[in-house]
């Protein structure tokens, strides 16, 4: 029998590889199915469902498995082999998806195809992954080195700790240094190393002996049913907690990939610590069902405390809004935010060893069949949690409201479980069960009251920002959309209205946003069809319609369309324009599925430029896709912020990298500085972009176009002829932005080396 230390290290490496795949494959498949919440939830649910299927499958076959460690080794090799061919499998899925789904396909059909393809792509590797924990637990049970600790809980902890290291390594180091594909291959190398060890390590005779009978009371007893039920609920609430807390914390720290990676890392470390601590003495605990239910009560209680800490953290971060700070400051802010989730993760991790001990109470270590059943229920619960948080809670409730729903869920789970103990009239700590019932009922009631109370965000704006009032505040599938407007009756100059999505400012009413539409349409000989990706305040879309052609705008956050009336007095007229079309969709996904071609494609990308997912709108792969959707002689217009514009282009090297990326796709370009000077409009085409002064003057002389450009102050006379062509260092070198090397989104090491600083965005809490 190999030493347990070696087993834990091996399983830790397996966990690191598994989480790396989850990060990489979720990113990969979002490029195929779109980056919407629905698509991401479907992919994540498919991943979890495969894990559940694997644990169920292996649990039914452990009785016929002579050497669990050898089977484990073969499964690890299979996972690694699949990772190598994953690009081919995903490419085939991409072809099927684009053949079966179009922009105007019914939403139900589109979701069904996404779900079927995502599950088909992921079912093989995730099924293999889901079988590994029961096999390793069975190998340990058949060994002779039993002790006081509950080994399956320690294995679970090692796997969670490995997953944390995988999230940290992939998110902070590997993707930036070697890219997405190479990171996946590195994870495959871990699988091959782990699988090879499992097949080659010497066995003792005991490890090869026939399986001994499973010892322990059956899962059909009250305690067994309760353990599985609570474990399923705990899995659901764990995934829902991560999703909803991530959205809420995003309103403080932004949507950086590093913030997400650190949140996930800290949460997984908490799960590992909670599982390992309980595993050390769970064999010596009495009344285990009560302990299991207590984890849910304590989790509900902690969420109430965490909400208070959220407000404290918001006040601390708000002091630094609009200031420029080193990268270390931002990372420390991310870590402080993530620590809010740490105790919640502890209680989530503690539930697994307690539940498996309840299922197999008389064994020295848990049997693989019981572990498989427990892991299956826990993972099926996780699938439910992903769907419930993404499709039910988030679209209907805003930040703190949704967090209080978690209190309701944890409290309700504890109420039902403790009631089951009391109704059974067993001797299982009736007093403790009654106390839990009352406490959990009170917490659930508190959660119901608080989650039904709207206006918390508006109340904080009213208290902390007397110049603003909340004019519009709507949760939705993709995020919470808010409009801040000058408060009536205030003295002094009125501030500009603001559009926030998930608490972050999206855009501003600037002439530069008008020119995102006007420049390409003025320089095109005859623009009849235009596509505007990113609606924002609606400025670019509104300006494009002034040219008289057909204009389609695509916005991922549908509630943003509802905010249009708060920024433009003629919003209702523009909304009903006969040649305009507003579509709620992921911009890149729309381009992928549409069969239409356009004279002009222009993009108003969301800030910040290094935010999670924004790289997909600047990569060479995206620009090549956009090029295929242009008509002959069509013009692509992009926006590149200047380093001084505080839009996360922190240096001129990054600025030049974006120009080089654009130049690789479009051989003919025009670049013009924005007015005011906060960035450049980059126009590209497969043909020379030429416009005479007479052509420009004729277009500018049209009343609708001239009036729109002059609405907020106009432009200098020479503006439209002041084109520049970047040369020299701006276009030299081979470093560009691609989907495989997302250098905009993953730039930490480069930023540290350059001693870059970041602007801390304002916090509106």
Average pLDDT, the chain: 90
Is the CB of residue 19 less than 8 Å from the CB of residue 167? Answer: yes
Contact between residue 334 and residue 262 where contact means Cβ atoms under 8 Å apart: yes
Q: For the beta carbon of residue 233, count every other beta carbon within 10 angstroms.
A: 24
pTM of structure: 0.92
Split at pLDDT 50, 70, 90, the class of 643 is confident
Give the tokens for residue 666.
Answer: 């479009």
Q: Which domains, from first to last, does the chain contain?
A: 1-216 (1.20.1250.20), 516-759 (3.40.50.150)
Residues 749 and 173: their CA atoms lie apart, in Å, by 8
Predicted confidence (pLDDT) at residue 168 exceeds the cutoff of 50: yes
pLDDT range class, residue 222, cuts 50, 70, 90: confident
| pLDDT score of 1 | 45
User: Model confidence at 474, in pLDDT bands (50, 70, 90)?
Assistant: very high
Euclidean distance between the first and the last CA atom of the chain, given in angstroms as a whole number: 56
**pLDDT average, residue stretch 706-718:** 85
Kindly give, in sequence order, each residue whose CB lies less than 8 Å from that of residue 534, ignoring residues fewer than 6 positions away. Answer: 540, 553, 554, 555, 587, 603, 604, 605, 606
- The residues pairing with 680 across neighbouring beta strands, listed in sequence order, are 640, 673
pLDDT single digits (tens) 401-418: 999 999 999 999 999 999
- The encoded tokens of residue 114 equal 């996404």
| pLDDT score at 214 | 46
pLDDT (0 to 100) of residue 218: 47
Residue 728 has a pLDDT of 59
What DSSP string runs through 540-606?
HHHHHHTTSSEEEEEES-THHHHTGGGT-TTHHHHHT-TTEEEEES-HHHHHHH----EEEEEE-PP
- Residue 553: both structure tokens together: 């705008």
The confidence band for 492, taking pLDDT boundaries of 50, 70 and 90, is: low
pLDDT at position 176 is 96
Looking at residue 456, its pLDDT comes to 80
Give the side-chain half-sphere CA count within 13 A for 756. 23
Given a cut of 50, is residue 637 above it in pLDDT?
A: yes
Q: Are strands 550-555 and 529-533 parallel, antiparallel or unpaired?
A: parallel
Residue located via tokens 């190398």: 189
Cα distance between residue 660 and residue 736, in whole Å? 6
pLDDT range class, residue 344, cuts 50, 70, 90: very high
Mean pLDDT within 4-17 = 92
pLDDT in the model for residue 278: 95
Q: Identify which of 342, 330, 323 has the alpha carbon closest to the alpha carbon of residue 263.
A: 342
What is the rounded average pLDDT of the residues 313-339?
91
What share of the chain has pLDDT > 90, as a percent?
A: 69
Question: pLDDT confidence of 513, banded at 50, 70, 90?
Answer: very high
Q: Is the pLDDT of residue 729 over 60?
A: no
What number is the average pLDDT over the span 20-26? 96
Least confident stretch, 94-103, 249-258, 490-499, 737-746: 490-499
Q: What is the pLDDT of residue 720?
A: 74
Residue partners of 182: CB distance under 8 A and separation at least 6: 174
pLDDT at 726: 63
Mean pLDDT, to the nearest integer, of 6-14? 94
CA distance 338 to 345: 11
Rg, C-alpha atoms of the chain:
28
At residue 207 the predicted structure's pLDDT band, cuts being 50, 70 and 90, is very low
The DSSP element (H or E) to which 175 belongs, if any, is: helix 175-200
Which of 7-11, 15-19, 681-685, 734-738 has the weakest average pLDDT?
Answer: 734-738
Q: Pairing state of beta strands 550-555 and 580-584? A: parallel
Decide if 619 contacts 590 (C-beta within 8 A): no
Q: What is the mean pLDDT of residues 709-736?
A: 73
Cis peptide bond prior to 556, omega within 30° of 0: no
Reduced to 3 states, what is the DSSP secondary structure of residue 314? Answer: helix
Q: What is the pLDDT of residues 380-402, one digit of tens each?
A: 999 999 999 999 999 999 999 99
What percent of the chain clears pLDDT 70, i.e. is strictly above it? 94
Residue 201's pLDDT is what?
A: 85
Q: For residues 68 and 187, give the distance between their C-alpha atoms in angstroms, rounded to a whole number.
A: 23
Nearest to 138 by CA among 50, 212, 195: 212
169-182: average pLDDT: 96
Residues in the chain: 765
Scored b (16 or more CB within 10 A) or e, 668-693 reads ebbbbbbbeebbbbbbbbeeebebee
**C-beta neighbour count of 115 within 10 angstroms:** 19
Q: Residue 653: its pLDDT value, please?
A: 86
* Nearest residue to 273 (alpha-carbon basis) of 331, 341, 227: 341
How does pLDDT run across 559-598, given as a tens digit for each residue?
Answer: 999 999 999 999 999 999 999 999 999 999 999 999 999 9
Give the pLDDT score at 585: 92
* pLDDT the model gives residue 540: 96
Average of per-residue pLDDT across 702-715 = 89
Examine the pLDDT at 49 and tell me if it is beyond 60: yes
Whether 264 has a pLDDT exceeding 90, the answer reads yes
Do the Cβ atoms of 263 and 243 come closer than 8 Å?
A: no
């Amino acid at each position: 029998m190999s030493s347990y230390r070696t087993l834990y290290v091996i399983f830790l490496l397996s966990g690191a590889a598994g989480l790396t795949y989850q990060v990489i494959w979720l990113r990969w498949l979002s490029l195929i199915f779109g980056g919407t919440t629905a698509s991401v939830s479907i992919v994540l649910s498919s991943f979890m469902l495969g894990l559940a299927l694997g644990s169920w499958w292996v649990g039914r076959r452990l009785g016929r498995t002579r050497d669990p460690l050898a089977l484990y080794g073969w499964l690890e090799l299979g996972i690694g082999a699949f990772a190598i061919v994953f690009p081919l499998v995903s490419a085939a899925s991409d072809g099927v998806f684009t053949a079966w789904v179009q922009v105007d396909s019914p939403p139900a059909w589109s979701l069904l195809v996404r779900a079927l393809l995502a599950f088909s792509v992921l079912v093989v590797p995730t099924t293999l992954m889901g079988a590994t924990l029961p096999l390793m637990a069975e190998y340990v049970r058949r060994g002779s080195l039993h002790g006081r600790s509950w080994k399956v809980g320690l294995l679970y902890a090692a796997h969670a700790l490995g997953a944390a290291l995988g999230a940290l390594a992939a998110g902070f180091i590997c993707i930036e240094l070697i890219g997405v594909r190479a990171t996946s291959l590195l994870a495959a190398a871990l699988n091959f190393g782990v699988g090879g060890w499992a097949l080659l390590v010497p066995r003792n005779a005991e490890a090869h002996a026939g399986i001994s009978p499973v010892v322990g009371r059956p899962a059909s007893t009250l305690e067994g049913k309760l353990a599985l039920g609570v474990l399923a609920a705990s899995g659901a609430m764990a995934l829902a907690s991560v999703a909803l807390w991530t959205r809420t914390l995003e309103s403080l720290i932004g949507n950086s990939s590093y913030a997400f990676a650190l949140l996930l890392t800290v949460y997984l470390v908490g799960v590992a610590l909670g599982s390992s601590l309980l595993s050390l003495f769970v064999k010596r605990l009495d009344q285990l069902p009560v302990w299991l239910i207590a984890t849910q009560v304590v989790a509900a209680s902690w969420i109430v405390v965490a909400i208070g800490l959220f407000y404290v953290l918001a006040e601390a971060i708000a002091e630094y809004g609009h200031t420029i700070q080193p990268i270390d400051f931002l990372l420390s802010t991310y870590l402080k935010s993530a620590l809010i989730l740490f105790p919640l993760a502890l209680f989530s991790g503690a539930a697994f060893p307690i539940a498996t001990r309840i299922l197999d109470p008389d064994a020295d270590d848990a049997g693989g069949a019981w572990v498989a059943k427990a892991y299956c229920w826990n993972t099926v619960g996780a699938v439910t949690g992903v769907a419930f948080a993404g499709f039910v809670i988030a679209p209907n409730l805003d930040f703190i409201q949704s967090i209080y729903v978690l209190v309701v869920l944890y409290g309700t789970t504890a109420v039902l479980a403790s009631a089951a103990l009391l109704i059974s009239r067993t001797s299982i700590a009736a007093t403790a069960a009654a106390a839990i019932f009352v406490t959990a009922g009170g917490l659930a009631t508190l959660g119901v009251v608080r989650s039904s109370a709207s206006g918390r965000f508006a109340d904080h704006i009213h208290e902390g920002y007397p110049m603003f009032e909340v004019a519009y505040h709507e949760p939705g599938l993709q995020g919470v959309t808010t409009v801040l407007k000058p408060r009536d009756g205030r003295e002094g100059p009125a501030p500009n209205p603001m559009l926030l999505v998930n608490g972050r400012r999206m855009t501003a009413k600037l002439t530069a946003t008008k020119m995102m539409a006007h420049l390409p349409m003025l320089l095109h000989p005859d623009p009849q069809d235009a596509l505007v990706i990113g609606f924002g305040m609606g400025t670019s879309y509104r300006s494009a319609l002034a040219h008289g052609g057909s204009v389609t705008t695509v916005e991922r956050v549908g509630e943003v369309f509802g905010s249009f009336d708060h920024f433009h007095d003629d919003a209702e007229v523009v909304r009903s324009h006969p040649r305009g079309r507003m579509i709620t969709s992921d911009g890149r996904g729309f381009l992928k599925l549409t069969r239409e071609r356009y004279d002009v494609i222009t993009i108003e990308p969301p800030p910040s430029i290094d935010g999670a997912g924004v790289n997909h709108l600047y990569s060479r792969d995206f620009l090549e896709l956009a090029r295929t959707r242009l008509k002959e002689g069509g013009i692509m217009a992009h926006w590149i912020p200047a380093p001084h514009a505080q839009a996360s282009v922190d240096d001129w090297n990054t600025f030049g990298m974006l120009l080089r990326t654009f130049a690789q796709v479009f051989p003919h370009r025009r670049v013009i500085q924005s007015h005011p000077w906060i960035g450049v409009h980059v126009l590209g085409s497969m043909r020379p972009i030429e416009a005479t002064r007479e052509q420009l003057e004729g277009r500018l002389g049209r009343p609708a176009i001239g009036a729109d450009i002059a609405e907020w102050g106009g432009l200098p006379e020479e503006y439209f002829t002041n084109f520049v062509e970047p040369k020299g260092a701006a276009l030299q070198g081979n470093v560009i932005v691609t989907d495989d090397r997302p250098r905009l989104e993953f730039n930490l090491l480069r930023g540290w080396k350059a001693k870059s600083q970041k602007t801390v965005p304002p916090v509106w809490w």
